[in-house]
């Protein structure tokens, strides 16, 4: 692509080119500064507490259910060059990319328009560092005595930032020109004042400008709290001591991770997975493969796959964020998540312009819950396989969890007569994968967002014109195994107190086949599904005093909807969706039959599934020992009689 003279390509900056930053006066730590261990521990935790207060402020100021109810955001504190020292417990890949944006700002904005105290930049450009255009990042430098001391940032999934479709998910298009406009780092706040011209440009594109404007102010407020607290810390302990703690925290994270890696076996672990339906007209599947190499004290991710397609792609930033997300809870669960140090022990290699390392102008509108999420799944499996090869660390593995996000963007007229635009966040209640020693956690949330929560049913009904028939945990949604994957939930609802039809744009993957995979013989979870019951009798059932406990109890014309689609929901149409549970661990026929019976009684496993997959036969709710022995022998015999993979029985 031809470049404008004097302008460089919009690409992620992974390593700062110091020759380009002569105009930046960094605060540098003196070589002879000494830091005692007690002060290190006190201030390391103080920085984490500041990070937590930053996130709490954002939640309290925001009016968006995406933030206030589901915690689809994250916050970071970095050093003077943007290397991350601390991040929140929310969506991890939101926080795994901000260092790229900061380095870009330092290289490209220091001269014009400049980086000054009281400034903040906004960016949602996936090729620079945002995961996708909805994930708006607000970044602020922190100065001390005229020197650039550190950075803070906040990332929020904005409900709608423009483009062809509701929620900015352009499911019928193939490139970025149909999507919301990517905004490279632009000065949103100058000398402590919000630049209304820049805000107007950003809000003018949105179908929900008031909500987006409130979230921008929440991000600014969170950043301001973090800046104030860092200044207070400097006043109490001195700038050099605070900076020494930042540097030592990253060094400690690197050293600890490298020490752990040395205790794990060397080798290469691979996984291949697929996304289906790159846009609404596509019926293909799109392959990505990851090879995780553990060599001494270093991890290397090698990524290859099919060419970029439709709007399911992610850029280098999203790929890197997705790959590192499972590393944190499985390999660094007891370490500071100081990515500036952790990234030193991890290398990333990827073929160009594939689905998970797309080049401009590939479509990335769905990246966070498509290409990036897909990369999380692949990394999850590779890291779990690595840990499964270690007697000492196998207990830390987690099988595939919440293998895809069921996106539900909606727009209409609410019960107050006002327009609403939202994304329903109920799929935060996905199931976590099993472990080598225990079942997965039911409806635990999103593995890549350990601090996330599901939206409250009553909050949704208060905010939007909807009435839930139910939201419930689903039988047979946890992957079978010696240890069962956590079950997931589904939602079923009817429009309420509005006569206006609702417009919907939906997008997911994992409908053709589940993507929450098992480990060491464990089976995958369920797959996702969208379903409408047109002209239903739900209102009549409610009028008669009956509350349906399952969508199958509601009469009407059933419509199974494609995983990339848009449609209109009328007043009597039921909307049903189910998302994924967790994968299992170990062979299902090695599961204790009494535990299977307990799962049946609890509603987590059906009696049919107990017999078919676990080989457990029940009689009046109790295990039939003889029949179970026979059934499990039958399963083993069927396996031994099967043809090898790739060979026909003919």
Three-state DSSP state, 118: coil
Q: Is residue 6 pLDDT above 80, yes or no?
A: no
Does 576 share its domain with 595? no
Does 536 share its domain with 628? no
Sort strands 618-619 and 285-295 into parallel, antiparallel or unpaired.
unpaired
Q: What is the reported pLDDT for 471?
A: 97
The last residue of a domain, from among 255, 282, 305: 255
Q: Would residue 608 count as lying in a domain?
A: yes
pLDDT bin (cut points 50, 70, 90) of residue 650 is low
Chain segment 605-632, per-residue pLDDT in tens:
999 999 999 999 999 999 999 999 999 9
Q: Would residue 359 count as lying in a domain?
A: no
Q: Would residue 99 count as lying in a domain?
A: yes
Q: Is residue 165 pLDDT above 90, yes or no?
A: yes
Q: Would residue 452 count as lying in a domain?
A: yes
Q: Would residue 382 count as lying in a domain?
A: no
Rounded distance between C-alpha atoms, residue 487 and residue 474, angstroms: 6
| pLDDT, mean of residues 101-119 | 96
Do 405 and 508 contact (CB within 8 A), yes or no? yes
Q: Is residue 1 pLDDT above 50, yes or no?
A: no
Rounded distance between C-alpha atoms, residue 467 and residue 471, angstroms: 11
Q: Between 642 and 551, whose confidence is greater? A: 551
Q: Domain of residue 218: give its range.
A: 18-255
Q: What is the reported pLDDT for 646?
A: 67
Does 506 share its domain with 598? no
Does 105 share its domain with 166? yes
Q: What is the DSSP string of 258-325?
A: HHHHHTSPPEEEEEEEEEE-SSTT---EEEEEEEEEEETTEEEEEEEESBP-TT----HHHHHHHHHT
Q: What is the reported pLDDT for 644?
A: 80
Chain segment 229-268, per-residue pLDDT in tens:
999 999 999 999 999 999 999 999 999 999 999 999 999 9
For tokens 């994270």, what's the residue? 253
The structural domain count of the chain equals: 3
Q: What is the reported pLDDT for 4?
A: 66
Does 94 share its domain with 39? yes
The last residue of a domain, from among 255, 274, 304: 255
| pLDDT, mean of residues 559-584 | 97
For tokens 């004097």, what's the residue? 6
Q: Would residue 488 count as lying in a domain?
A: yes
For the chain, helix (H) and strand (E) counts, in that order, are 16, 22
Does 248 share its domain with 211? yes
∠ at Cα 544 (538, 550), nearest 5°?
A: 40
Does 47 share its domain with 138? yes
Rounded distance between C-alpha atoms, residue 409 and residue 407, angstroms: 6
Does 72 share its domain with 206? yes
Does 616 share its domain with 507? no
The last residue of a domain, from among 585, 602, 628: 585
Q: Would residue 242 count as lying in a domain?
A: yes
Nearest to 590 by CA among 617, 609, 613: 613
Q: Would residue 72 count as lying in a domain?
A: yes
The set of residues, in sequence order, having a beta carbon less than 8 Å from that of 97 and lying 6+ positions away, is: 129, 130, 131, 137, 317, 318, 320, 321
Chain segment 376-391, per-residue pLDDT in tens:
999 999 999 999 999 9
Nearest to 87 by CA among 253, 281, 231: 253
Does 562 share its domain with 632? no
Does 561 share its domain with 626? no
User: Rounded mean pLDDT of the chain?
Assistant: 96
What percent of the chain shows pLDDT beyond 70? 98
pTM of the model: 0.95
Burial of 231 per CB tally in 10 Å (0-12, 13-18, 19+) = middle
Does 622 share its domain with 528? no
Nearest to 233 by CA among 47, 500, 73: 47
pLDDT bin (cut points 50, 70, 90) of residue 116 is very high
């Amino acid at each position: 692509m031809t470049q404008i003279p004097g302008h460089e390509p919009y690409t992620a900056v992974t390593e700062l080119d110091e020759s380009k930053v002569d105009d930046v006066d960094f605060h540098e730590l003196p070589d002879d500064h000494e830091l005692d261990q007690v002060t290190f521990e006190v201030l390391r935790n103080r920085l984490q507490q500041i990070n937590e207060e930053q996130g709490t402020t954002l939640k309290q100021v925001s009016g968006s259910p995406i933030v206030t109810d589901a915690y689809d955001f994250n916050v970071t504190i970095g050093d003077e060059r943007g290397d991350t020292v601390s991040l929140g417990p929310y969506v991890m890949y939101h926080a795994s990319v901000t260092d790229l944006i900061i380095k870009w700002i330092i290289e490209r904005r220091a001269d014009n328009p400049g980086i000054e105290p009281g400034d903040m930049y906004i960016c949602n450009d996936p090729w620079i560092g945002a995961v996708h255009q909805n994930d708006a990042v607000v970044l602020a430098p922190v100065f001390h005595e005229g020197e650039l001391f550190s950075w803070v940032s906040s990332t929020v999934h904005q409900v709608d930032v423009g483009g062809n479709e509701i929620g900015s998910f352009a499911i019928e298009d193939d490139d970025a020109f149909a999507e919301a406009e990517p905004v490279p780092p632009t000065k949103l706040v100058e000398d402590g004042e919000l630049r209304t011209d820049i805000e107007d440009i950003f809000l003018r594109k949105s179908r929900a400008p008031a909500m987006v404007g409130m979230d921008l102010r929440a991000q600014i407020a969170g950043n301001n709290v973090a800046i104030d607290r860092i200044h207070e810390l400097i006043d109490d302990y001195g700038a050099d001591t605070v900076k020494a703690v930042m540097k030592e925290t990253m060094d400690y994270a690197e050293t600890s991770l490298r020490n752990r890696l040395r205790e794990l076996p060397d080798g290469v672990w691979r996984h291949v997975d697929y996304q289906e339906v790159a846009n609404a007209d596509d019926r293909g599947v799109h392959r990505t493969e990851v090879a995780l190499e553990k060599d001494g004290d270093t991890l290397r991710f090698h990524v290859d796959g099919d060419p970029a397609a439709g709007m399911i792609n992610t850029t280098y930033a999203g790929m890197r964020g997705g790959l590192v997300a499972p590393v944190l809870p499985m390999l660094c669960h007891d370490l500071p998540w100081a990515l500036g140090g952790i990234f030193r022990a991890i290398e990333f290699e990827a073929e160009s312009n594939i689905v998970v390392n797309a080049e401009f102008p590939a479509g990335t509108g769905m990246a966070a819950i498509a290409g990036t999420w897909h990369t999380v799944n692949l990394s999850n499996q590779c890291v779990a396989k690595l840990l499964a090869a270690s007697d000492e660390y196998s207990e830390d593995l987690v099988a595939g969890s919440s293998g895809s996000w069921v996106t539900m963007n909606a727009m209409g007229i609410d019960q107050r007569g006002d327009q609403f635009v939202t994304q329903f966040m109920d799929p935060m209640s996905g199931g976590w994968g099993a472990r080598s020693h225990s079942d997965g956690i039911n409806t635990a949330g999103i593995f890549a967002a350990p601090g996330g929560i599901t939206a409250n049913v009553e909050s949704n009904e208060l905010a939007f014109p909807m009435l839930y028939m139910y939201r419930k945990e689903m039988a047979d949604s946890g992957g079978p195994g010696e240890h069962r994957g956590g079950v997931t939930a589904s939602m079923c609802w009817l429009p309420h107190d509005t006569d206006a039809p609702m417009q919907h744009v939906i997008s997911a993957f994992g409908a053709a086949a589940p993507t929450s995979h098992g480990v060491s013989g464990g089976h995958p979870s369920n797959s996702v599904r969208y379903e409408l019951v047109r002209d239903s009798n739900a209102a009549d059932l409610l009028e008669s005093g009956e509350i349906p406990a399952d969508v199958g109890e509601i009469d009407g014309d059933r419509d199974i909807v494609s995983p990339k689609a848009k449609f209109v929901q009328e007043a009597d149409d039921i909307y049903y969706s189910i998302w994924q549970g967790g994968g299992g661990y170990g062979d299902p026929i090695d599961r204790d039959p009494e535990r299977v019976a307990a799962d049946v009684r609890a509603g987590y496993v059906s009696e049919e599934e107990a017999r078919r997959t676990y080989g457990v036969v029940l009689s009046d709710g109790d295990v039939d020992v003889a029949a179970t022995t026979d059934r499990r022998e039958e399963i083993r015999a069927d396996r031994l009689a099967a043809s090898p993979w790739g060979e026909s029985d003919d």
